């Protein structure tokens, strides 16, 4: 029976005999693992030649010889001659070099597993009998789908060093959480969440995962940022895997940089998992493109805490799209300042509440009236405000109508 081992090839010499499609495909994997790769082949694919020209790999333009195996940790034998591959496989075994025979895996000392990466775990599937690549890939993909769907508890069972993973949960719809974000939640011993983190995501966690709610609202900050930082560091230093679940993206007005700084100061390992930022995705979800050829070619993202700052006003005057996060209470002042600075009072504005969720609502109006309209309709945070021509009702339909048949 074949034994299964995970080999660390970082910085190790890997010899690739052959330069065709098989060698190219496997070579990409060796590169991702940090191996030092030497390709030996008279001719190679365009991909291999390009990698060699960029000095990512070393290429010797000749046939592979037995002496090329000296000092190697691993060899991929993928020439277009089955007998040569078999011969080199024997010689590699004599030199105690792990080798894959691409012509017949049963004649090598190693087999390539069909792998998938899930955070700090890798899943590999190999055939123990006659090689069957299509079969192992199908099994790999089926297992990976279950793991990435969040249905497998990936928490460590042995004690280890704690860490913090900052995860952007996206704008609200649980389906917009990234695959890596779901993996991270499956690894979590503790989840520190704010009020914008998806409740549907939290409901899928195992019952014994500690959930710490540190949610803030515009007029209520029950847990100050310093205390949030302390919670993250304290749990991580206790050996826990801590997921800091944040709405949108951690580094877009999410104070993720402050939390990373706290980890660095305490010597805590951390990872940042980017999220789908609401600044772009929420307008898109209601059919508002923040950039559109012929309408707006740039976008500025700001926060209501900054008010109508000079950069935002200058962007409006230049015809750029301005997206304001956390700006519901500041909307009257922003509109007033913009108009006073010369921005057209008829500039379209759209306010999207609770974007991508079942409670999504869009309120529209011209810049001069939008504060009054928002007040009369009871607009509440969280909301994304879009200011500019892209927010004009029927914008996309007008492009369709203008397109020649």
Domain boundaries, the chain: 13-112, 163-276, 280-397
pLDDT greater than 80 at residue 396: no
What is the layout of strands, in order, in the sheet containing 383-387? 299-303, 321-325, 383-387, 348-353, 361-366
What is the model's pLDDT at position 220?
A: 54
Fold of the domain spanning 163-276 = Cobalt-precorrin-4 Transmethylase; domain 1 (3.40.1010)
**Whether residue 280 has pLDDT greater than 60:** yes
Q: Quick one: 170 exposed, middle or buried, by C-beta within 10 A (0-12, 13-18, 19+)?
A: buried
Closest CA to 363 of 344, 378, 382: 378
> pLDDT tens, 220-251?
557 899 999 999 999 999 999 999 999 999 99
| pLDDT mean over 316-334 | 95
User: What six digits make up the tokens of 278?
Assistant: 């609401």
* pLDDT at position 400 over 60: no
Sequence-ordered list of residues with C-beta below 8 angstroms from that of 131, at least 6 positions apart, any chain: 104, 105, 106, 111
Average pLDDT over residues 3-14: 79
What is the distance, to the nearest Å, from the Cα of residue 319 to the centroid of all Cα atoms in its chain?
A: 31
Better-scored residue on pLDDT, 120 or 195: 120
With 60 as the cut, is the pLDDT of residue 219 above it? Answer: no
Mean pLDDT of the chain: 90
**Strand pairing class (269-273; 114-118):** unpaired
Provide the CB-side half-sphere exposure for 272 (13 A, CA).
18
> Which residue would you say has higher pLDDT here, 8 or 266?
266
Residue 142: what pLDDT?
92
Find, among 74, 93, 83, the residue nearest to 9 by Cα. Answer: 74
Specify the pLDDT at position 20.
93
Which pair of structure tokens corresponds to residue 4? 């299964």
Paired strand residues for 386: 323, 350
For the chain, helix, strand, coil in percent to 5 are 35, 20, 40
| Nearest CA-CA partner of 352 in 312, 320, 386 | 386
pTM over 0.95: no
- CA-CA distance, 243 to 209, in Å (whole number)? 11
Q: Phi-psi bin for 208: left (phi > 0), alpha (psi -120 to 50), beta?
A: alpha
Instruction: Out of 3.10.150.10, 2.40.160.20, 3.40.640.10, 3.30.950.10, select the CATH number for domain 280-397.
Output: 3.30.950.10
Q: What is residue 89's predicted lDDT score, i.e. its pLDDT?
A: 94
Q: Distance (Å, rounded) from C-alpha 59 to C-alpha 63?
A: 11
Q: What pLDDT, on a 0 to 100 scale, did the predictor assign at position 42?
A: 95
Q: Which two tokens stand for residue 161?
A: 């060093």
Q: Which CATH architecture has domain 13-112?
A: 3-Layer(aba) Sandwich (3.40)
> At residue 144, does pLDDT exceed 70?
yes
Strands, sheet with 210-213, edge to edge from the N-terminal-most edge strand: 210-213, 190-193, 241-246, 163-168, 269-273
Mean pLDDT of 40-61: 92
Kindly give the residue spans of alpha helices, DSSP state H, lying in 225-277.
225-237, 256-266
Which helix (H) or strand (E) covers residue 205, if one does? none
The residue among 41 and 215 whose pLDDT is bigger is 41
Over residues 75-85, the pLDDT tens digits come to 999 999 999 99
Contact (Cβ atoms closer than 8 angstroms) between residue 145 and residue 222: no
Please check the confidence at residue 256 and state whether its pLDDT lies above 70: yes
- Does residue 105 have a pLDDT over 50? yes
Q: What is the mean pLDDT of residues 93-115?
A: 88
| Segment 361-378, tens digit of pLDDT | 999 999 999 999 999 999
**Residue 329: how many other CB atoms lie within 10 Å:** 12
What is the arithmetic mean of pLDDT over 128-157?
Answer: 86
Q: Say which range, 41-50, 90-99, 193-202, 373-382, has the weakest mean pLDDT.
A: 193-202
Annotated catalytic residues are: 194, 216
Residue 403 confidence (pLDDT): 54
Per-residue pLDDT of 180-207, as tens digits, reads 999 999 999 999 998 665 567 887 888 8
């Amino acid at each position: 029976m074949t034994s299964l081992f995970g080999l660390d090839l970082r910085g190790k010499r890997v010899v690739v005999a052959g330069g065709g499609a098989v060698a190219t495909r496997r070579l990409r994997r060796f590169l991702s693992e940090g191996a030092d790769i030497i390709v030996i082949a008279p001719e190679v694919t365009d991909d291999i030649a390009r990698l060699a020209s960029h000095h990512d790999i070393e290429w010797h333009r000749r046939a592979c010889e037995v002496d090329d195996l000296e000092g190697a940790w691993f060899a991929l034998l993928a020439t277009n001659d089955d007998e040569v591959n078999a011969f080199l496989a024997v010689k590699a075994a004599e030199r105690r070099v792990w080798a894959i025979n691409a012509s017949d895996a049963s004649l090598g000392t190693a087999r390539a597993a069909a792998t998938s990466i899930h955070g700090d775990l890798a899943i590999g599937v190999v055939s123990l009998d006659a090689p069957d690549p299509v079969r192992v890939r199908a099994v790999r993909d089926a297992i990976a789908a279950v793991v990435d769907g969040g249905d497998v508890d990936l928490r460590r069972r042995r004690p280890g060093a704690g860490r913090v993973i900052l995860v952007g949960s996206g704008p609200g719809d649980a389906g917009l959480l990234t695959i890596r974000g779901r993996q991270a939640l499956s690894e979590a011993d503790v989840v520190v969440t704010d009020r914008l983190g998806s409740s549907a995501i939290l409901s899928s966690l195992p019952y014994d995962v500690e959930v710490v709610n540190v949610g803030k609202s515009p007029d209520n900050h029950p847990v100050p940022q310093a205390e949030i930082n302390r919670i993250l560091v304290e749990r991580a230093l206790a050996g826990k895997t801590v997921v800091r679940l944040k709405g949108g993206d951690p580094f877009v007005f999410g104070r993720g940089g402050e939390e990373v700084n706290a980890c660095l100061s305490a010597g805590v390992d951390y990872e940042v998992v980017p999220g789908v930022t609401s600044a772009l995705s929420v307008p898109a979800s209601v059919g508002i493109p923040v950039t559109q050829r012929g309408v707006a070619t740039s976008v500025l993202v700001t926060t209501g805490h900054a008010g109508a700052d000079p950069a935002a006003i200058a962007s409006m005057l230049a015809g750029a799209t301005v997206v304001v996060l956390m700006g519901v209470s500041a909307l009257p002042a922003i509109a007033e300042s913009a108009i006073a600075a010369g921005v057209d009072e008829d500039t379209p504005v759209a306010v999207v509440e609770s974007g991508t969720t079942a409670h999504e609502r869009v309120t529209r109006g011209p810049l001069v009236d939008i504060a009054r309209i928002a007040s009369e309709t009871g607009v509440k945070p969280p909301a994304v405000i879009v200011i500019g021509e892209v927010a004009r009702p029927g914008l996309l339909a007008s492009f369709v109508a203008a397109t020649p048949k």
